[in-house]
Amino acid sequence: MFMGGVAMARCSRALMLLCVVYAIVLVLFHQSLSPSSSSTAVDDRKIPVMVRDNDPAEDDAANDTIRWVRPAAKRGGCAQAAAKLEVGMVQLEKQVFDMKISLAERALGEKRARLLDALKTRGPHQQRELSSSAAAGAQSQPQGVLSALKKEEEEEALDYTNSTLIRVSEGLAVFSAYHDDRQEEVWVRIMVIIHGNVNSQRLLCHFHYNGDNTATYIIEAKQYEMCENHKKTYLGFIYSCSVPLGRHLDYTLAVSHVSSNDRQVPVPVQRVSPPVTSGQKVSTDKFAYNFSICVSPLFGSVSPKRLVEFLELTRLLGVQQIFFYDFSTSEIVQRVLRHYEGKRWVTVIPWRLPEEMSSNIWYHGQLVVNNDCLYRTMAQSVYTAFHDIDEFIVPHSKDARTYSDIIPPELPNDTCGYRFASAFFDPVVATQLPDNVMTVFSTARTEVISKVRTKVMVMPRRVFEVGIHHVSKQLLEPWESRTFSPERALLHHYRECLYDYGMRCDSWVNDTTIRDHYMPELNIRIATAEEALEKAEIQY
């Protein structure tokens, strides 16, 4: 099919080139032949010609203009030569079109063959579906072959069968929507992944109201690109639609691509504010949790043992709720997560992307995950941190053990959150004999502390967009993210050291903070957890 497409493209270019040559020849004929006495006299009468404005968006008849032009003089020999050349061009154009049809039919034949071959390995129901598809292709008329192929290619471009995204159109998918009433103007914030030119991926919000204000309002979304897409094919965006009536979530939402207004897709809407009495201020005591963590998409060979260690140490640090986005993990990891979900301090959100999308978006859609979790925790948590399962924000102050010891109940009016500098704790460079708990025996820390590889803890209600290593955009300009002193708290990153962003992996110091502050209780917690998992027949 690819080779056929190349051939068709070459034919089109050849046709365009011949058309240009044809036009040049006509101009040369007219310029080279001067009027003679034997030529037919030029008609001096002027005739009106309608000229259409080139702007396709302005197709009103009022935009048409009338110009007066003289008809061309008749030149016998030139006209005959031009007529012959035009006939030749028509014949050539027909040959090119026939070639396109032949290539398209060949491609469609190959597709039908693959469908028929698949019948041998499918059940009766699937066989009927495949047979119908193949038969439909066989009966297609040549003039419909190209459009049929285009439609099939669009349908096959992305397979959303197992995806947790909501497909709106080819190249535009929605994951979630949030009723954002933090400011005077109320918005719906929609987490979106798009493909291609943003100008072609415009979205309409359909607000359906019932009850006393039965009505439907259609609002076009404003587009905001997330800051760290890294020029990938698929991009994370926040689309915003202004809520037309009142401040309450008393509507249902559907969305559509601007080019297909009649194809509406329902999207559930969640709140970003905790339930409060009308007119009451949202205060910190209205939230379910003081501290939550949003974990980047889980994928690959996640160690169940390290996962349990992460969960138990994070709990020791004072975190009350952990949000995981499960992209692709083993059955045993999923069972461990379900076990902790039963304890009600872990939330697992399925995160499935079409294969083509997941390999052409930054880190399996980490930006969209981070910002979905930002808005998801707004109504639940006073503070939310963002990092991976091999990272821990650890208090280093002498008497501090939990986040409540280092983070105030509410931030100053000029602050939306904190950035925590990081250091590598490389397990290969252990300074003591290995223990069952990695964070206890890995005490070798890089001497250099990175202020680039930071991770953040924020008050979600003061942030519009969060990045991977920083706050990308605060809700109000005065609310900035502040650097937290490494002497008071440091991000421990347990992995192989990386020589980048000024980091040096040849100079180490001994850091026993985890061992000194948490080892006895952490060991007890992990042993208790392993016993409970064993009783639940979860072996790892």
Q: For residue 193, what is the domain's CATH number?
A: 2.60.40
- Asked whether the predicted pLDDT for residue 372 surpasses 70, the reply is yes
Distance CA(380)–CA(174), nearest Å, equals 22
Same domain for 339 and 399, yes or no, is: yes
CA distance 144 to 139: 10
pLDDT of 104 strictly over 70: no
Confidence of residue 260 (pLDDT cuts 50, 70, 90): confident
CATH assignment of the domain containing 464? 3.90.550
Measured between alpha carbons, how far is 326 from 417 in angstroms, rounded to an integer? Answer: 26
- Of 243, 271, 299, the last residue of a domain is 271
**Cα(275)–Cα(263) distance, integer angstroms:** 33
Task: Answer yes or no: do 347 and 420 share one domain.
Answer: yes
Instruction: Please report the pLDDT score of residue 454 as a whole number.
Output: 97
pLDDT confidence of residue 136: 43
For 175-193, how does the pLDDT look when each residue is reduced to its tens digit (9 = 90+)?
A: 999 999 999 999 999 999 9
H/E stretch holding 417 reads strand 415-424
- Statement to judge: residues 361 and 487 lie in one domain: yes
Asked whether residue 4 carries a pLDDT value surpassing 60, the answer given is: no
Q: Scanning the structure block, which residue is given the tokens 């890089």? A: 446
pLDDT digits (tens, 9 = 90+) for 450-498: 999 999 999 999 999 999 999 999 999 999 999 999 999 999 999 999 9
pLDDT score, position 161:
86
pLDDT at 274: 86
91: pLDDT strictly greater than 70: no
- The DSSP call for residue 285 is G
Q: Do 215 and 334 fall into the same domain?
A: no
Q: Please tell me the predicted confidence (pLDDT) of residue 158.
A: 80
User: Domain check: are 173 and 257 in the same one?
Assistant: yes
Q: What is the dihedral of CA 64, 69, 71, 72, to 10 degrees?
A: -110
Is 444 part of any domain?
yes
Q: Is 118 helix (H, G, I), strand (E, B) or coil?
A: helix
CA 463 and chain centroid, separation:
19
Among the listed ranges 158-167, 289-298, 473-482, which one has the minimum average pLDDT value?
Answer: 158-167
Angle, CA of 79, 84 and 87, to the nearest 5°: 125
In angstroms, how far apart are the furthest CA atoms of the chain? Answer: 114
| pLDDT at position 137 | 44
301: its two tokens: 């060979």
State whether 263 and 310 are in the same domain: no
Q: Is the pLDDT of residue 280 over 80?
A: no
* Span 116-141, pLDDT tens digits: 454 444 444 444 444 444 444 444 44
CB 338, CB 348: distance < 8 Å = yes
Lowest mean pLDDT among 112-116, 227-231, 428-432: 112-116
- pLDDT at 78 > cutoff 70: no
Confidence of residue 315 (pLDDT cuts 50, 70, 90): very high
| 5 in a structural domain | no
| Domain identity same for 302 and 255 | no
- For residues 213 and 172, state if they share a domain: yes
Q: What count of other Cβ atoms lies within 10 Å of the Cβ of residue 369?
A: 25
Please answer whether residues 187 and 180 qualify as being in contact, where contact means their C-beta atoms are separated by less than 8 angstroms: yes
Q: Which structure tokens are listed for 109?
A: 């034949």
The residue among 271, 292, 320 that closes a domain is: 271
pLDDT of residue 279: 52
Task: Enter the DSSP assignment of 435.
Answer: -
Decide if pLDDT at 437 tops 60: yes
* Phi, psi (rounded to 5 degrees) for 395: -65, 135
pLDDT at 82: 53
Q: Decide: 402 and 314 in contact? Cβ < 8 Å.
A: no
> What DSSP state is assigned to residue 9?
H
| pLDDT (average), residues 70-77 | 42
Phi, psi of 89 (to 5 degrees): -65, -40
Range(s) of the domain holding residue 513:
284-536
Share of the chain above pLDDT 90, in %: 59
Q: Considering the domain boundaries, does residue 512 fall inside one?
A: yes
pLDDT at res. 323: 98
In a domain, 523, yes or no: yes
**Does 445 map to a domain?**
yes
Specify whether 192 is located in the same domain as 299: no
Of 228, 245, 271, the position where a domain reaches its end is: 271
Give the CA dihedral 310, 313, 318, 320, nearest 10 degrees. 40
pLDDT at position 192: 98
Whether residue 349 contacts residue 433, with contact meaning beta carbons closer than 8 Å, is answered with no
Q: Is 445:508 a contact under the CB 8 Å cutoff?
A: yes
Alpha-carbon gap, residue 61 to 349, rounded angstroms: 54
Clarify whether residues 379 and 434 are in a common domain: yes
CA distances from 127 to 121, 124, 138, 139, 140 (A): 9, 5, 16, 18, 20
b/e code 37-52 from CB counts within 10 Å (16+ = b)? eeeeeeeeeeeeeeee
Mean pLDDT of the chain: 80
Same domain, 451 and 395: yes
Q: What is the pLDDT of residue 75?
A: 43
Confidence band, pLDDT 50/70/90 cuts, at residue 24: low
Tokens representing 123 are 């059940």
Answer whether residue 292 shows pLDDT above 80: yes
* Residue type for position 122: R
| Beta-sheet strands, E only, within 152-209 | 166-169, 172-180, 187-195, 203-209
459 phi/psi in degrees, rounded to 5: -90, 105
Position 45 confidence tier, pLDDT thresholds 50, 70, 90: very low
Residue 348 lies in a domain: yes
For residue 250, the model assigns a pLDDT of 92
CA 59, CA 53: separation in Å to the nearest integer? 8
Greater model confidence, 144 or 338: 338
At 400-424, the pLDDT tens digits run 999 999 999 999 999 999 999 999 9
Residue 377 lies in a domain: yes
Helices 2-32 & 76-118 angle (0-180, nearest 10): 180
What confidence score (pLDDT) does residue 159 get?
87
Strand ranges for 28-170 from DSSP E? 47-51, 65-69, 166-169
Share of the chain above pLDDT 70, in %: 68
Tell whether 430 and 499 lie within a shared domain. yes
Burial class (CB in 10 A: 0-12, 13-18, 19+), 522: buried
Query: Which burial class, exposed, middle or buried, applies to 445 when counting CB atoms under 10 A from its CB (0-12, 13-18, 19+)?
Result: buried
Report the number of distinct structural domains present in the chain: 2
What is the reported pTM? Answer: 0.72
The answer to whether position 54 is within a domain reads no
Cα gap 212→520, rounded to integer Å: 61
